[in-house]
Chain A
């Protein structure tokens, strides 16, 4: 058993699958990170992915062009994100409930559309949809072991890595990133600085829509080569939990989604040694919850320590002795 696990972790094939399973989660987690930073929970990521996966397949099959498929998928995902924005920001709806509702529309709607067009409810195999290209990396692919892991992945896997950089740049290098973070952390402060919080939130939703669209297209046009009903398998929800583990940063999202990817890929391997596959399949979700708890506990500890330090370093601010009469009261005028 131990030998087997060591064998798995040493195998380049395993790590190849890890990257492949991590990529879609990473993309949606980034989407969840950026919306959460802007102060709106995008619970509709699941629905975004579903529509993207379906529309991507349909558009690529209709046009015979995979890139048009990708564009169509991303657009579909964006429509979901914007609908959420419209309801949550313009109609004052509870964003979480709205997201849940949009996912329901996605779950039913994708199957409904698929059936109406193909007569099949489960899978889109009757459509001649295209697959996004897999890319052999020059030079890097030559390296033994590592080459087998990183090279020959689907283009979306590399785009996911690019997306980390893009989201990192947006949040940390661009002006809009400051505004996104300000809006999420203190909406009043942002408003008082002349920032329109709704615009910022719409923008964050747009970015998350593109990312979820990419992830959705990957699922049906790379990870597999068909749309199947419920293809997103809760990844959108996992992203909402992973976002917390990520601590609101793009780099953190890598680790958060790797936790999921590693256990997810492990599931495929562990089945070979006779462990119940169902038990293993539940692992990624269980690990996500555990990760969430661990991160929350450690963050609480850090916060408490920080407060203690602040308290200790500022004894003058907490006078235990009688306050001199010059000290004013705090009054509301």
Chain B
């Protein structure tokens, strides 16, 4: 069968050496809905960015209807009939839906520069009726629901003449009812001859909607199946089956007393999505509790609540028996919670400040650094910075150099160095090795285990499944803002099984999940 869009040996290597796509032979049949599944970082996004002209391929070819194509910008891709709906909507809230739809390609009154409002509304309503995507053309974007905004995004793409539509995780922001509606609409698009690429983590959705499904893993396109001939178990295995457990010298220890007790935490984001849904857990001394889950299932928000950066709508948070709900990040730090933030560039470090200032940001006011009249003991500070730099092997010329001048791995060592020397009882560690070189990864892993062995309670969140599995003593799986599984012994569970929980295919009973509370 002829392919409308295909790639041959497409390879994308980023400037920092990351290989995002490795000889990908991707094919799209005209008039189909193709599911594209894969773990975080499997290369789906990069592949789509290349097809949409946002990234240039490093090697390989793109063929559009059999002819060689090259897009230098997304405008080129749009002109060639390829449209993309991003996860983050590209809309102007203060303009009406009709105005957003035609932005950049506006209808004008005859021989003038006057915007033709009525024509814009007419176009919107006509498209809306044609594809059965119901929107209020005259309403302002700010006043309509997320699902209507998404429909508008799809209409925008159609208005610009797209025949191939790429949807990046479109159901992530939708309720189940809205998801069903979207599927009917996408089926209608297919009926009218459009081709759709549907990126998702939800295998049952893919199976319900798509004609074929391609699986990506580790930058490669692993397999493509007719949906009728495949089950979700197979897909799940293909997606996560590869993970090799990292080798780590880890002695078994038994967990101690509870330090951090979180009960019934909830968080609703700006889109009214419940990101954290009545989550409870207990952290114990000498134990690494790992949280696994597809990115964006509430891990980030949970961490922000636990560290005081966000307020929970309900429940309680106790550290060492003291209630800390609603206390700011400072109070929670003083109660003994250290936090390796997931984003070191914007939150975890002050790039323009020196290494020393970054290392001392949480402890400068302690008596050993601040003396009378607020004067700081510079020698003690320098000594502290030096010792952390040496201890955590931060490769730098001196501690007075700015953090911005460090490599990703060394920057992370600064963050981890500060948090791990904070004398905290609880360590909340989020994405400790994201964007870090191999040597530093091993180093950071050893330090996390060392902290556990020293009797600290560690909460580990990471998108790297292999990392969480090998470092953690116990595991919790989060999906859609809830804890869906708890495994007392992380070594006893397989990655394939975790995959089923992560992807929402399986769920433990309440009794099993409740064990994470350690309330016996």
- Given contacts A328-B200, A329-B172, A333-B168, whether A317 and B504 have CB atoms under 8 Å apart is no
Q: Mark A177-203, 1 if CB is under 8 A from B, else 0.
A: 111011001101110111100000000
Query: When the two chains form their complex, are residues A332 and B114 in contact, meaning their CB atoms are under 8 A apart?
Result: no
Once the chains are docked, how many angstroms separate the CA of A179 from the CA of B100? 10
Query: When the two chains form their complex, are residues B481 and A323 in contact, meaning their CB atoms are under 8 A apart?
Result: yes
Partner of A327, one of B92, B106, B168, B175: B175
> Chain A contacts of B294 at CB under 8 A?
329, 331
Quick check: is A316 within 8 A (CB to CB) of the other chain? Answer: yes
Once the chains are docked, how many angstroms separate the CA of A257 from the CA of B294? 53
Quick check: is A92 within 8 A (CB to CB) of the other chain? Answer: no
> Chain B contacts of A175 at CB under 8 A?
106, 108, 113-115
Once the chains are docked, how many angstroms separate the CA of A195 from the CA of B100? 13
Query: When the two chains form their complex, are residues A174 and B204 in contact, meaning their CB atoms are under 8 A apart?
Result: no
Once the chains are docked, how many angstroms separate the CA of A173 from the CA of B87? 31
Q: Please give the number of chain B residues whose Cβ is less than 8 angstroms from any Cβ of chain A in the complex.
A: 65
Query: When the two chains form their complex, are residues B268 and A174 in contact, meaning their CB atoms are under 8 A apart?
Result: no
Quick check: is A320 within 8 A (CB to CB) of the other chain? Answer: yes
Question: Chain A residue with minimal CB distance to B45?
Answer: A333
Q: Which of chain B's residues 249-268 have a Cβ closer than 8 Å to chain A?
A: 268
Once the chains are docked, how many angstroms separate the CA of A186 from the CA of B104? 13
Query: When the two chains form their complex, are residues A332 and B45 in contact, meaning their CB atoms are under 8 A apart?
Result: yes
Once the chains are docked, how many angstroms separate the CA of A323 from the CA of B481? 9
Partner of B268, one of A189, A195, A306, A318: A318
- Given contacts A181-B95, A333-B168, whether A194 and B104 have CB atoms under 8 Å apart is yes
Partner of B507, one of A177, A192, A194, A325: A325
Quick check: is B177 within 8 A (CB to CB) of the other chain? Answer: yes
Query: When the two chains form their complex, are residues B295 and A331 in contact, meaning their CB atoms are under 8 A apart?
Result: yes
> Chain A contacts of B179 at CB under 8 A?
326-328
Query: When the two chains form their complex, are residues B103 and A190 in contact, meaning their CB atoms are under 8 A apart?
Result: yes
Query: When the two chains form their complex, are residues A193 and B202 in contact, meaning their CB atoms are under 8 A apart?
Result: no
Q: How far is the CB of A251 from chain B (nearest CB, A)?
A: 16
Once the chains are docked, how many angstroms separate the CA of A316 from the CA of B205? 20
> Chain B contacts of A176 at CB under 8 A?
113
Q: Which of chain B's residues 96-112 have a Cβ closer than 8 Å to chain A?
A: 99-100, 103-106, 108
> Chain A contacts of B33 at CB under 8 A?
none
Q: Which of chain B's residues 286-313 have a Cβ closer than 8 Å to chain A?
A: 293-297
Quick check: is A6 within 8 A (CB to CB) of the other chain? Answer: no
Quick check: is B19 within 8 A (CB to CB) of the other chain? Answer: no
Quick check: is A319 within 8 A (CB to CB) of the other chain? Answer: yes
Query: When the two chains form their complex, are residues A318 and B274 in contact, meaning their CB atoms are under 8 A apart?
Result: yes
Partner of A329, one of B44, B143, B297: B297
Question: Chain A residue with minimal CB distance to B37?
Answer: A333
Once the chains are docked, how many angstroms separate the CA of A194 from the CA of B160? 11
Query: When the two chains form their complex, are residues B92 and A189 in contact, meaning their CB atoms are under 8 A apart?
Result: yes
Query: When the two chains form their complex, are residues B296 and A326 in contact, meaning their CB atoms are under 8 A apart?
Result: no
Question: Chain A residue with minimal CB distance to B199?
Answer: A333
Once the chains are docked, how many angstroms separate the CA of A174 from the CA of B114? 4
Q: How far is the CB of B464 from chain A (nearest CB, A)?
A: 13
Query: When the two chains form their complex, are residues B177 and A316 in contact, meaning their CB atoms are under 8 A apart?
Result: yes
Once the chains are docked, how many angstroms separate the CA of A325 from the CA of B44? 24
Query: When the two chains form their complex, are residues B169 and A331 in contact, meaning their CB atoms are under 8 A apart?
Result: yes
Query: When the two chains form their complex, are residues B480 and A329 in contact, meaning their CB atoms are under 8 A apart?
Result: yes
Partner of B114, one of A173, A190, A319: A173
Q: How far is the CB of B119 from chain A (nearest CB, A)?
A: 11
> Chain A contacts of B268 at CB under 8 A?
318
> Chain B contacts of A329 at CB under 8 A?
172, 201-202, 293-297, 479-480, 502, 504
Quick check: is B38 within 8 A (CB to CB) of the other chain? Answer: yes
Q: Which of chain B's residues 167-208 have a Cβ closer than 8 Å to chain A?
A: 168-169, 171-173, 175-177, 179, 199-202, 204-205
Quick check: is B472 within 8 A (CB to CB) of the other chain? Answer: no
Q: Which of chain A's residues 295-333 have a Cβ closer than 8 Å to chain B?
A: 306, 310-311, 314, 316-320, 322-333
- Given contacts A314-B272, A317-B273, A318-B273, whether A330 and B297 have CB atoms under 8 Å apart is yes
> Chain B contacts of A316 at CB under 8 A?
175, 177
Question: Chain A residue with minimal CB distance to B147?
Answer: A317
Once the chains are docked, how many angstroms separate the CA of A194 from the CA of B202? 33
Query: When the two chains form their complex, are residues B504 and A193 in contact, meaning their CB atoms are under 8 A apart?
Result: no
Q: How far is the CB of B280 from chain A (nearest CB, A)?
A: 14
- Given contacts A185-B93, A328-B179, A331-B172, whether A195 and B103 have CB atoms under 8 Å apart is yes
Partner of A328, one of B99, B113, B504: B504
> Chain A contacts of B481 at CB under 8 A?
323
> Chain A contacts of B114 at CB under 8 A?
173-175
> Chain A contacts of B297 at CB under 8 A?
329-331
Query: When the two chains form their complex, are residues A332 and B295 in contact, meaning their CB atoms are under 8 A apart?
Result: yes
Q: Which of chain B's residues 57-99 have a Cβ closer than 8 Å to chain A?
A: 74-75, 78, 87, 90-95, 99
Partner of A322, one of B146, B175, B199, B277: B277
Once the chains are docked, how many angstroms separate the CA of A310 from the CA of B295? 27
> Chain A contacts of B91 at CB under 8 A?
186, 189
Query: When the two chains form their complex, are residues B482 and A193 in contact, meaning their CB atoms are under 8 A apart?
Result: no
Q: Which of chain A's residues 181-227 have a Cβ closer than 8 Å to chain B?
A: 181-182, 185-186, 188-190, 192-195
Question: Chain B residue with minimal CB distance to A328?
Answer: B202
Question: Chain A residue with minimal CB distance to B314?
Answer: A320
Query: When the two chains form their complex, are residues B93 and A314 in contact, meaning their CB atoms are under 8 A apart?
Result: no
> Chain B contacts of A314 at CB under 8 A?
145, 272
Quick check: is B490 within 8 A (CB to CB) of the other chain? Answer: no
Q: How far is the CB of A130 from chain B (nearest CB, A)?
A: 34
Q: How far is the CB of B269 from chain A (nearest CB, A)?
A: 9
Query: When the two chains form their complex, are residues B175 and A174 in contact, meaning their CB atoms are under 8 A apart?
Result: no
Query: When the two chains form their complex, are residues A186 and B93 in contact, meaning their CB atoms are under 8 A apart?
Result: yes
> Chain B contacts of A323 at CB under 8 A?
176, 274, 277, 480-482
Once the chains are docked, how many angstroms separate the CA of A316 from the CA of B145? 11
Once the chains are docked, how many angstroms separate the CA of A209 from the CA of B268? 45
> Chain A contacts of B78 at CB under 8 A?
194
Once the chains are docked, how many angstroms separate the CA of A195 from the CA of B90? 13
> Chain A contacts of B169 at CB under 8 A?
328, 330-333
Once the chains are docked, how many angstroms separate the CA of A178 from the CA of B119? 15
Once the chains are docked, how many angstroms separate the CA of A327 from the CA of B177? 9
Once the chains are docked, how many angstroms separate the CA of A45 from the CA of B505? 61
> Chain B contacts of A320 at CB under 8 A?
274
- Can you list 12 residue pairs at the A/B interface with Cβ under 8 Å? A175-B113, A175-B114, A189-B100, A319-B175, A319-B274, A323-B482, A326-B176, A328-B169, A328-B200, A328-B480, A332-B87, A333-B199
In the A-B complex, the 8 residue pairs with the smallest Cβ-Cβ separation, listed nearest first, are: A193-B104, A330-B296, A330-B172, A329-B297, A328-B202, A333-B44, A189-B90, A331-B294
If A194-B78, A332-B40 are given as contacts, then 7 extra A-B residue pairs at C-beta distance below 8 Å, sorted by A number, are A185-B92, A194-B104, A195-B103, A306-B142, A327-B175, A329-B504, A333-B169
